[in-house]
Amino acid sequence: MNSELLLVNGWVARVVKLVFVTIFLAIFTLQAGAEPDWWGKVDPFLLAQVQTQLAASTESDAQIEFLVKLAVQADLSAAAELEEKLAKGTFVYEQLTAVAQQTQAPLLAQLKAMGVKEVRPFWITNMVWVRGEPGLVATIAQRPDVAILYANPQVALDVLPPENEAAFSITAPTNIEWNISKIGADAVWELGYTGQGVVIGGQDTGYDWDHPALKNQYRGWDGTSANHSYSWHDAIHVDNTTCLGDSPEPCDDNSHGTHTMGTMVGNDMAPTTDGWPSAAANAIGVAPGAQWIGCRNMDEGYGTPASYTECYEWFVAPYPLGGDPMTDGDPSKAPHVINNSWGCPPIEGCSATSLESVVNNVRAAGIVTVHSAGNEGVGGCGTVQNPAATYPASFTVGSTDINDFIASTSSRGPSTFDGGLKPNISAPGVSIKSAIPVSAFEYGNKSGTSMAGPHVAGLVALLISANPGLAGDVDGIEALIQGTAVPRTTSQGCGGDSPTDVPNHVYGYGRIQAYDAIIEQFPFKLYLPFPINE
């Protein structure tokens, strides 16, 4: 095609686009006083995005991303009657994929007929990600089978800069870290429970899988070679300066993810060596005998509801590299617990309910979802405000220091979602040494509730390794952790708390105590002569 014809066609396309935008602006303007019914099915942030983009752009390639949640959702109530974790996960996967396949076809057909090429069906909740012209929002919202349209905004990394220390200063080996001893994890190791037989999942900025403190615990490593299928998924589909989009192997473009995983399982000593795990130079992880799998949900610290949803979906039924989520998922490869050291703040347009059904469905599959409370505590009460920490189905964690005092930045409850108790529990989160993916040195300190949450995920692994019958019993695991926590009180008065109330909206049920949680399960606990470090 010659350049003259290209110019003519480009001019025609711009004219058509200008007419299209003018019509839609007129519709929005005329209906400002009397909102049409379909406006109620569009998240306010998305509606504002559409109006702004239509007003600002006359380009033919203007695009917007959004999520279409369908009205029909699977009934997973029967999962609660199943005892085995695998039975729960299989039931959830089969029910959710069946509903998605049965009900999404008409919507997908319409999008295809309209020339929309960028779509991604989800099954973890009955929802479809769409990227197309802003005018699509009005068209899709008017479908009777659509419940709500959500924006797909960027999500901020939930982490603090280290307090009074360089972000990546070299940290000398100190054997067992203070936070590990504080919660009594090292005493649990002496009982023979290190997380063996348990799989921990983490969705974060990615992971340095061959870090010396993480490599032996990575499920994709068999001691001689790596196979990343079923053990790694990348929900970021564009390249950045550090990681390829859809990276075929674990990659961390921020260091945050590697640090959190280190606190869960990190140990730089070979498990076959005498004295493991306590004698390691860097005993940084709560459950060094557990295996880990990971999903990258943030692009250099920023994610979207779609990337979080994609990781959650993969965890419930991991599928191989290049596999089909609808048909290739394997619930037998799902983790027992997922750590979520991130938050989705409203300032970036994330709706309060965007991830609610997703988290509910993960829990129905028998997977514990640990969430960091957030780092907005300086704002006072009611600062547990960002999904997914706000949801009742999330096990939400506040941050404490070496003296068991709540960190000033740790978000306080009640939850802005429903006024319920948050955080549920607290754990060390100030000046936590863990792994970092930097070539010149391998360990550093960070602070925040992002550092507290991994302690709880590690504790879940210790509990299941001691009592495999707990696998899939999310309620039982959470009750055990809460019931054996070191109680902490506060005079802050959040949510009407009195100075003697436990639980409360600052510490939850208190600071976790791994040793007590373990011996609580066994009738011979009085005969175990191991110390409790409180």
| 299: three-class secondary structure by DSSP | strand
pLDDT for residue 240 is more than 90? yes
- Give CA–CA dist 69/126, Å, rounded: 6
Q: What is the pLDDT of residue 282?
A: 95
Between the alpha carbon of residue 260 and those of residues 85, 105, 118, 158, 285, the distances in Å are: 25, 39, 33, 12, 9
| Residue in 228, 256, 455, 505 annotated catalytic | 256
pLDDT for residue 28 is more than 80? no
Show the tokens assigned to 446: 């960070």
CATH number of the structural domain 182-527? 3.40.50.200
Which of 53-57, 209-213, 305-309, 389-393 is least confident? 53-57
Mean pLDDT value across residues 132-154: 93
pLDDT for residue 1 is more than 70? no
| Residue in 247, 372, 410, 450 annotated catalytic | 450
Q: Using one digit for the tens of pLDDT, what is the confidence trace for 299-354? A: 998 899 999 999 999 999 999 999 999 999 999 999 999 999 999 877 666 799 99
Show the tokens assigned to 96: 């959710």
Residue 49 pLDDT level (bands cut at 50, 70, 90): confident
Residue 521 pLDDT level (bands cut at 50, 70, 90): confident
- 222 is annotated as an active-site residue: no
Mean pLDDT value across residues 435-460: 92
- Give CA–CA dist 357/271, Å, rounded: 39
| Residue in 43, 158, 204, 234 annotated catalytic | 204
Residue type, 108: L
- Give CA–CA dist 305/455, Å, rounded: 25
- Give CA–CA dist 96/82, Å, rounded: 16
Q: What is the pLDDT of residue 174?
A: 66
Residue 54 pLDDT level (bands cut at 50, 70, 90): confident
> What percent of the chain shows pLDDT beyond 90?
79
pLDDT for residue 169 is more than 90? no
Q: What is the pLDDT of residue 438?
A: 74
Intervals of CATH 3.40.50.200 along the chain: 182-527
- Give CA–CA dist 429/456, Å, rounded: 11
Query: Could you tell me which residues come within 8 angstroms of residue 458 by beta carbon, excluding any fewer than 6 positions away?
Result: 185, 195, 200, 263, 264, 265, 285, 286, 287, 290
Q: What is the pLDDT of residue 53?
A: 81
pLDDT higher at 84 or 4:
84
Per-chain mean pLDDT for the chain? 89
Query: Could you tell me which residues come within 8 angstroms of residue 22 by beta carbon, excluding any fewer than 6 positions away?
Result: none
Mean pLDDT value across residues 54-78: 87
Q: Using one digit for the tens of pLDDT, what is the confidence trace for 367-384? A: 999 999 999 999 999 999
Mean pLDDT value across residues 196-205: 98
- 256 is annotated as an active-site residue: yes
Hey, how many other C-beta atoms are within 10 angstroms of the C-beta on 57? 16
Mean pLDDT value across residues 426-441: 90
How would you label 383-422 residue by residue, b for 16+ Cβ within 10 Å and e otherwise? bbbbbbbbbbbbbbbbbbbeeeebbebbbbbbbbbeebbb
- 43 is annotated as an active-site residue: no
Q: Of 204, 186, 209, 193, which Cα lies nearest the Cα of 292?
A: 209
pLDDT for residue 161 is more than 80? no
Between the alpha carbon of residue 429 and those of residues 398, 403, 455, the distances in Å are: 8, 11, 9
pLDDT for residue 155 is more than 60? no
**Directed axis angle between helix 305-316 and helix 85-103, to 10°?**
130
